[in-house]
Amino acid sequence: MAQEKNKSKATEYIDAILVAVAFLIFINLYIVKTFYIPSSSMENTLLIGDHLFVNKFIYGPTKWEWEKKFLPFRDPKRGDVVIFRSKETPMMDLVKRLIGLPGDIITIQAKQLYLNGKNIDESAYAIFRDPFILQGPSAPPRDFFGPFKVRENHFFFLGDNRDFSNDSRFWGDLPRSHIRGRAFLVYWSYGGHTLGANGEPINAITLAIHLIRTTIGFIPKTRWSRTFHVVR
């Protein structure tokens, strides 16, 4: 009898663990995903080492009108900080700010953004760290771009660290199918070494070294003031 009870308890524990794992997988796939920042392209909104919660539910497709009324679905909006699959490397996720909606005309003149002919004040989020303005026939489209019309069912993205961001100025507008969700909360920010930040290959050795570094530096290198920081 005692052996049967032990087996029954063990079975209950295993079932509970399996249910919890299945629930976490479901949450991660369909509702909330975690993401970390490996580059400086969104500074100072997001810093290298910020770990985010991403709302994958908000942009979900809706079949019925009542879903939009009673469930928290909505279309992507200008100003959203969005996680999406890279056009150049589809297996990689990127994070940028949504600037242009379908049909918008995007123009950049000497680093100044114009949306449908109107000069946009970006002082609340955009930073410009390079004082030089790149121009001329052979210059990259960093400081002068467009006019460019965003295609139907596509979106235009820019990094907040405008002079050091690989974004829609270089690879064009992004199809909606690439969008994965909206960044909404920093749950942990680590100021130490970030895996993949320097472009090093990620293998078992670098992963083990990273885990050791993070464990040792967790308390002194965590940016505690950014914990539960809302992304805007």
Which residues belong to the active site? 41, 96
48, 38 Cβ separation under 8 angstroms: yes
What is the Cα–Cα distance from 52 to 231, expressed in whole angstroms?
Answer: 9
Phi, psi of 109 (to 5 degrees): -125, 115
Amino acid identity for residue 24 in this structure = L
- H/E stretch holding 148 reads strand 145-149
Q: Are 155 and 101 in contact, with CB atoms under 8 Å apart? A: yes
In 37-141, the DSSP E strands lie at 50-55, 81-85, 93-100, 105-109, 112-115, 118-119
Q: Which residues face 182 on adjacent strands?
A: 55, 82
DSSP letters spanning 1-66:
-HHHHHHHHHHHHHHHHHHHHHHHHHHHHHTEEEEE--SSTTTTTS-TTEEEEEESSTT---SSHH
